[in-house]
Structure formats: structure tokens, C-alpha cells
Amino acid sequence: MKRSILLIVSLGLSCWLLATDIMKLSEIRTGMEGEGKTIFKGSNIETFKFKVLGILDKFVSDKNLIIAELFAPELNEGGVIAGMSGSPVYINGKLIGSVSYGLSNFSKKPIAGITPIEDILKISAYGGPVANVEISDIKIDFSKENVKRLAEAIHNELVSRMSFSPARNLTPIKLFASSSGFCPQAVHVLQGIFVPLQNLGIGAAVDKKKLSPEMFTVRPADAVSIPLIRGDASYAATGTVTHVDGKKVYIFGHPFFNLGTVEFPLHRAEVISVVPSYESSFKLATTRNMVGTVQQDRFSGVLAELGKTPYMIPLKIFLKNRNRNFNLEVVNHPLLTPTLTYISLLNALLAEFQEFGFQSISVTGKIFIENEENVVLNDLFSGTTAFDEFSTLVMAINYFLLNNQEKNIKIQKMDFEISGRETIKKAQLENVLINKNSYLPGELMDIRMKLKNEKGDNFEEQITIKAPNLKPGSVFYLLVADAGEVTDFDTKAIKTAYFPTKLSALIRAINNIRRNNRIYLKIFVPAQGIFIKGFEYSYLPSSISNVLLYNSLAKDQANMALSTIAEYQYEVPAVVSGKKIYKLVIKERKNE
């Protein structure tokens, strides 16, 4: 329905919008005065005065910046206002650019950097596919420590992209972030990027009986927002329109995240008020109806097209024992989608379960990928960091998927079913009892695992596995441990810089992530083995191993001194920790 309305209404827009004369940078002189346009409240465009103080030559190698002082009562108390990015400025009725940069040192005057309109219009010449992030030097490791490091790296990348400025103390004017249904803890990763005022939800839905062409277009100086998340909860960044040329809309005058080619929704916005601040004054705004799609996010501004509908990824979170659904959409982008999924999951858990203290969550989830095997999650998380641990893991998984080295993927949807308890569910592996220390080849091994839960109560689990089919006198080892310990063992045994270049291999690696609520039993021997492109070839005769090791310097293969014979897993109703290792022997079969 949204697509139909946008396409129909956009047919009459070209006659509604008037052409604008521009003034080139070469015509601008120090001391010139002019008028700017923006919205300080509601949807009424107001004017402010400005005076050109000079030109910052070579702001970047091929771009200059106009420096001006602004004059308006709303700017006297706190300087240039966050959310004002993109406000058009004119001299003698000609557009010279947009207010886009401000001083970052608590300036007492509203001194602004104006991006020249010539640079802004050049954005329309860009195109090309959405760029992926280079991740071949990042290890496929889903341990808590590595996942946390990866999350920090993604956050730092977003902050540096948004806050980058070639000039000291002159930074892009921050966009105002309006949110509805989000708690501050969930969106803390976006602090430093937008004005940190959260939980603003104002206004009603669009009244379909009062549809008009003006609702589906924008004018220069109108407030607009880019919703990164929308649905039962929403998070959007708000700025100002600089110029409209037919269906092309130029906004902000500085980058959003400087991501290049993108596909984000563009909505109208309404300014509620201006909030003065000694640190950073801002426009209080709320998001309205969608009008088009953002297509370019470049250094000199952002370009959108009216009447076009973007692709968003549906995200459904069902909190089973709360009987609560969260139906959301997040933007589709290799760098942003992982972060936004993290925020959405963490927020749903914090909103419905205990906000502080001890907790456990049992998770079943699927990430549906077009024409590929689905990614499946089924695990238990427990403790004070359970919510963050789970959300960060999904963030890392999406990061690897969307930036895989083989091809661009389309995530069709993400579904998660979560059951939560306000209790800890942890168990320590205290001891492992084996009925004997020597076995016949293929003989059944009865293994009793003694554990202690979070309350100090002892309990026991039992499993039967087969002894390896080895020659009499052979030594083998049994490792009984939690997921982290077994993963650490493999990391030390398989020393390689292998990274899955095939998407199918990457999905297989993700689906084989060891789980918290499992006890793993690994049987291995001190014998030659080879790791090649994600597969372990164990206990090989020397004739075969010599053939396979023809390229021992390759990054995707490694010689192994320990060979895995078999690996088993046993599910327990708790997050397990602990490790035990035993040296055993294969005995000779006696004649009966």
C-alpha cells in the first residue's frame, strides 16, 4: 500500500516544486550577508540571518567550506542546533549551500560551516553497489572475548565515520535521534553518534482520509528523518532538507555515516521544539510518514529519491513466557544491520525481563537467507550479562554473513523465540568418572559426569560412547569440557589463518558454533592430522598426509599433531563450565 501511494502521489510533484538558482563558491566574498531557512517548531519554515566570515580553503583536498556567523533568537542561547544539518542558506535569493558543521569547543557564538551547493549536487553522480567491509583478517571466533572485541570495533567504526572532520574543532552538526520504545541501555552503542536524548514518541499515525501530495514530498528547509529501526519500536535520525530537484532530495550537507551507496527509508519529520544546551542544542523532533529512499551517503551530503520504497529486514522477537511479540524492521546494510539487530534484541529483553540482576534466557532463532541454508541458533545464556552476550553474538553472526567474501546476500527475515527466567542456570563440571582406563577397540565407555549447580547442589549426568577403533597398545585421550574450553583446545591444535571464503562454509561454521548448555566429549590421539579449508582430516597414514601437505604454507591448511577421532555433546539444563582430560589405552582382545 505504501509503495502504491508513493508512486501515485509522486507523479504530480515536479510541477509543485520550483527550480532554484544557485550561487557558485567563486562568487562568494567575505562580509556577504544572506538568509537561511529551517524549522524551529512544527512544520512552518522560518528564516535566520547569516554573515560570511571567510572561506576555509582545502577543507579536504578538493573541497572548501564557507564559514559564517548565524543570527536568530533560537541560536543565541546554545549556538548551532543539532538537527539543523542541511538547512539551506541563500544570498540574494540564490542557494549557496547548507549549514552542516559547527564548532565543537562550547563556542558562545553560532559559528557554522556551510557546505557549498556545488559539492552537494555532485552526489548525484555517484552510484554502484553497496560496499562490504573487509573482514578476511578477522578470525572466525565466536568466543565471548572475540565477539566483544568485534562489537567494539563495529561501534568505533560507526563513530569515526559520523564524526570525521578534516578541520580541528569543526565537526558535522549532530543529527537528533528520536526513539520510541527503546530504553537508554539498549541504544548506548549509538551514543557519541547522535544527540543522546532517547525515548521520544510523539504524534499519531497518518490519517489516510487527509492524504495530499504535500504529505509525500518535501521542501527545502523541511525536517526529515531516516528511521534505522521502525515498527513496534523505532529509532530515527533527524536533519534538514537542503535542495529538491524533481524527485532528488539533498539533505544534511555532511555524511550520515559516509557509507556510499545505501538503501534507507526517508520520512517526513515534525519539529516539536528547540532545546538549548551549553554543550549541544538540538531540535526536538518526531518521525512522520515515509516519502522515499535514501540512496547515497557521501562526504558532502545525503541523496534520496522521492516515491521509492526501500528494502527493510523484518525482525520478529517473541518472548514466550511473556506472550509478547516485537515486530520490527531494520535497515539493510553490512555495517548497520548487525548493530541495529543487537539494539533491537537487547531492548526487547530489557523491556520485558528483569532489567538488572541475575537472569537466564533460552533462545531458538533463525536467520533466513535467500537461496541459502538458514542460520539456526539454539542455546542458553545465563548470568548478569546474559542479554548482552546473546545480542552481541547475533551481532557478530550478522556482521560475518553480510560481509562474506563470496557474494551479497539478502536476509529475508530474522525470527527469535526467547524464554526467560530471573534465576541463574549455571553448572560447574566437578569430576568425571570412567569405569576403567583401558578398552577394547569399539568397546562401550560408561562416563559419569558430576556437576554442581549455582546453589551448590550436586547432580550427575551419564553418557555412553564408543572407544576408538585403534590398534592394541594405542594411547588416546578423552577431553570432557564446556564449549569454550573445547574451542580453545581446537584453536591451539589448529594453528591456521583460515577464513571461509565460500558463503556455504561460513554458514556451516556459524551453525556449528558450540553451545553453552552442552558438555562436549572429544576423543583425540597424538597422531598426524591435517586441517584444510574448515575440515579436519584426522589420523592419516603418512602416505596420504604427505600428498595433502603439498602446500604447507597455504593459509587455509595446517599440519596437526593431535587428531580428533570423535566428538560428542550432551545437553544439560544449565550453562556449563569446567574441563577434565584423561589418558586412556586400547587393550588387546584376548582369545575366549
Split at pLDDT 50, 70, 90, the class of 205 is very low
Assess whether pLDDT exceeds 80 at residue 504: yes
Other CB atoms within 10 A of residue 488 CB: 15
What is the spatial distance between Cα 483 and Cα 433, in angstroms, rounded to a whole number?
A: 20
Average pLDDT over residues 532-553: 55
Q: Which residues contact 497 (CB under 8 A, 6 or more apart)?
A: 139, 555, 556
| CA gap 76, 283 in Å, rounded | 14
All residues at 6 or more sequence positions from 320 whose CB lies less than 8 Å from its CB, including other chains: 417, 418, 419
| Per-residue confidence band for 545, with pLDDT thresholds at 50, 70 and 90 | low
Q: What is the mean pLDDT of residues 206-222?
A: 71
pLDDT at 497 over 70: no
Mean pLDDT of all residues in 128-154: 77
Q: Give 422-465 as a 3 state SS string.
A: CCCCEEEEEEEEECCCEECCCCEEEEEEEEEECCCCEEEEEEEE
| Higher per-residue pLDDT: 311 or 145 | 311
**Confidence band, pLDDT 50/70/90 cuts, at residue 12:** very low
pLDDT on residue 421? 87
Of the given ranges (242-251, 254-263, 303-312, 559-568), which has the lowest mean pLDDT?
A: 559-568
Cα–Cα dist 317/353, whole Å: 13
What phi-psi label fits residue 86: left (phi over 0), alpha (psi between -120 and 50 degrees) or beta? left
Tens digit of pLDDT for each residue in 26-69? 999 999 999 999 988 878 899 999 999 999 988 887 889 999 99
pLDDT at residue 1 tops 50: no
In tens, the pLDDT along 83-130 reads 788 999 999 999 999 999 987 655 668 899 999 999 999 999 998 887
Inter-residue long-range contacts of 66-69, CB under 8 Å, 24+ positions, other chains counted: 66/25, 66/28, 66/96, 66/97, 66/113, 66/114, 66/115, 66/116, 67/111, 67/112, 67/113, 67/114, 68/99, 68/111, 68/112, 68/114, 69/109, 69/110, 69/111, 69/112
Q: Which of 112-116, 342-346, 537-541, 561-565 has the lowest mean pLDDT?
A: 537-541
**Cell match 564449549: residue?**
483
Mean pLDDT of 259-278: 80
* CA dist., res. 464 & res. 481, Å (int): 16
- Which pLDDT value is given to residue 262? 95
Q: Is the pLDDT score of 199 beyond 50?
A: no
Question: What's the pLDDT tens digit per position in 148-173?
Answer: 888 888 888 877 776 666 766 778 87
Phi, psi of 284 (to 5 degrees): -85, 115
What per-residue confidence (pLDDT) applies to 488?
87
Residue 533 region by backbone torsions, left for phi larger than 0, else alpha for psi between -120 and 50, else beta: left
Give the residue with greater pLDDT, 173 vs 497. 173
At residue 164, the pLDDT reads 65
pLDDT at 209: 46
Q: Give the least confident one: 150-154, 184-188, 494-498.
A: 494-498
Residue 548 pLDDT: 54
Q: What is the pTM of this model?
A: 0.86
Residues 301, 242: contact at Cβ < 8 Å?
yes
pLDDT over 90 percentage in the chain: 54
Q: What pLDDT does 280 receive?
A: 56
pLDDT confidence of 384, banded at 50, 70, 90?
confident
pLDDT at 39: 87
| pLDDT tens, residue by residue, 452-480 | 999 999 999 999 999 999 999 999 999 99
Amino acid letter, 412: Q
The b/e string for 37-76 (b: 16+ C-beta within 10 A; e otherwise) is bbbbeeeebeebebebeebbeebeeebbbbbbebebebbe
Judged against a pLDDT cut of 60, whether residue 135 lies above it is answered with: yes
Choice among 94-103, 220-229, 396-405, 498-507 with the minimum mean pLDDT: 498-507
pLDDT: which is higher, 359 or 16: 359
Q: Which residues pair with 249 in a beta bridge?
A: 244, 304
Residue among 266, 23, 253 at smallest CA distance from 123: 253
